[in-house]
A and B are shown apart, each in its own frame.
Chain A
Amino acid sequence: MMNAFRTLLWLELRKFGVFGLGLLLVVAGWFFMARQTFEWNGYKLESAAMVFAVTAFVAVGGSIAYLAALIMDFGREYRAGRWSLLLGSPQPGWLYLAARTLMGVGVLTLFNGGLWLVQTFWLGQVGVSLPIGLGAGIWLYLLGGLALVVPALFLGLWVAAYIPGKATLIALIIGVIGLGQVLEWSARLWGSQFYRWLPAWKLPAPGVEQNPAVRMEWENFPGLPSEAFVILSVLTALFFFVASRLWQEVEA
């Protein structure tokens, strides 16, 4: 099984390696562009704000583009008839999806981590330090970013489970609405339980705490509810399971 996993990972690398490399080239290009921004505009706060805004935009845009490519790849594979080939092998669906998840998470982490480094480096050159450090950055990234890969895989398989051209647009619309509804209902049903069972997570950001202007606000901030992350990981596992079932049933 380990050998099969490595083969599947290799397949992913062949398919998305160029995309990932392109994203890393964007990071490298942005490193020099950020430098030029400071050179032309002067080393001042406005340039830093500009670099910060563009970096955030590039990070979000690149991540969304990669996730969209991941979704569309399911449809492409399905039409090319490659699934029947893979299903002919004795590998379970979840192994295949695990390889895709690992590849997606790896590429997105390299991309966003690279952008983070570029940003920290150039803002540091003008003496601007971000209010949150590396630890808080990783923490927030895990919070918002990582949980996106499995829903993207699920959405791709969900649309691909439909006969091409018959109800794919309806499936996409209902899939997006349904994911939103699942999130909303789980927040609604469990919302009153937040902050009750598990200790709240404080944001590890000592830089913010030292600022006297936000000190009072900060002391009132109870932290983020740990229950939300437990629910999010349960939902992620659930959608991973459903996606692997879909993958195995689609050719039936």
Chain B
Amino acid sequence: MPGAQFGTVEIIVFGVVFAWLVYAGYRLWTATYSPTARWLGMGFVALAVLGLAKGLLE
């Protein structure tokens, strides 16, 4: 839905989800010694954010 209006509940729920994704990215970056795992974690979180944003905006 282009130009969709989000109510308070939606903003809070999706804000929490996005915040959790950022937190998960931070945890995934710091809790391993493997560089591949680090960048893979970043990639997965980025893909999840992109997918969620795309779902919200269209």
Contacts and interface: CB of A to CB of B under 8 A. Distances in A.
Given A174-B24, A178-B48, A184-B51, A158 B31 contact: no
Considering residues A177, A182, A252, which has the most beta carbons from chain B within 10 angstroms of its beta carbon?
Answer: A177
A245 B33 CA distance: 13
Contact of A161 (B34, B44, B48): B34
Interface string B20-35: 0000100110111111
A177 B24 CA distance: 12
A202 to B, nearest CB: 33
Contacts of A242: 36, 40
A174 B28 contact: yes
A166 interface: yes
B47 to A, nearest CB: 4
Given A158-B37, A158-B40, A177 B48 contact: yes
B35 A249 contact: yes
A167 B48 contact: no
Contacts of B35: 249
Contacts of B43: 178
A50 interface: no
A56 interface: no
A246 B36 contact: yes
Contacts of B28: 162, 167, 170-171, 174
A249 B34 contact: yes
A246 B34 CA distance: 7
A177 B31 contact: no
B34 A178 contact: no
B45 A166 contact: no
A250 B34 contact: yes
Contact of A178 (B27, B30, B36, B47): B47
A170 B31 CA distance: 10
B44 A177 contact: yes
B36 A181 contact: no
B34 A185 contact: no
A242 B43 CA distance: 13
B37 A249 contact: yes
Contact of B31 (A167, A182, A245, A250): A167
A49 interface: no
A41 B50 CA distance: 53
Interface of B: 24, 27-28, 30-37, 40-41, 43-45, 47-48, 50-51
Interface of A: 158, 161-163, 166-167, 170-171, 173-175, 177-178, 181-182, 184-185, 242, 245-246, 249-250, 252
13 contacts: A158-B37, A161-B32, A161-B36, A162-B31, A163-B31, A166-B31, A167-B30, A170-B27, A174-B45, A177-B44, A181-B48, A182-B47, A250-B34
